[in-house]
Amino acid sequence: MKKQVSQTISACSFNINQISRFLPRPTKERVVNAIITSRLDYCNALLCGTSAINIARLHRIQNTAARLIMRSPRSDSVTPLLREVHWLPIVCRVDFKLALFIYKAMRNDAPVYLCELVCPYQPTRTPRSANNNMLEVKRTRTTAEDCSFAVAAASLWNNLLMVIKTCGNLTSFKRLLKTHFFRIAY
């Protein structure tokens, strides 16, 4: 994934600092969303299980974008800025995308190849957790297998709150999921 991350970073590199002081904040937010955020979110589900170095490199780009929008110096902490622009950290963005794929796959709104990877948990006997909307997590032997969609997404789904998993429509699911990850991150 190192090459993918490097390409994403190079695509996000731009020099908007020179004109940013002339732009109002809403315009800067639109430009940053068009140039940076869209590229950080593109295929970011593939980053599940990638190294901490790759995540840190992408997080630096996100921090720079937040500082640009808020006109904050580099010496200031970026956490309050990310909270103010309401952005999730990169790891939470990846988890958000995985959970979204699982939600769609469980409702047959995803491509068939993703729906086939989602296996509802069916215990041999009926415990109290039988109706918890759980997914079967396949046993793995390597860390590379742990990063596969079937394993990583199922583990993530099983750790979500029941209120989020049983949400009726996609819009409210996204809202609850983002709120959940936002509380975890900040």
For each of the chain's 186 residues, which pLDDT tens digit applies? 889 899 888 888 766 666 777 889 899 899 888 888 999 999 898 898 899 999 999 999 999 999 989 988 989 999 999 999 999 999 999 999 999 999 999 998 988 988 888 888 877 776 665 567 888 888 888 888 888 888 999 999 999 999 999 998 999 999 999 999 999 999
Q: What is the pTM of this model?
A: 0.87
What residues contact residue 102 under an 8 Å CB cut-off, 6+ apart?
118, 135, 153, 154, 156, 157
Residues for the chain: how many in total? 186
Q: What is the pLDDT of residue 173?
A: 96
SS (H, E, C) 56-112: HHHHHHHHHHHHHHHCCCCCCCCHHHHHHCCCCCHHHHHHHHHHHHHHHHHCCCCCH
Q: How far is CA 165 from the centre of its chain?
A: 16
- Distance CA(156)–CA(115), nearest Å, equals 16
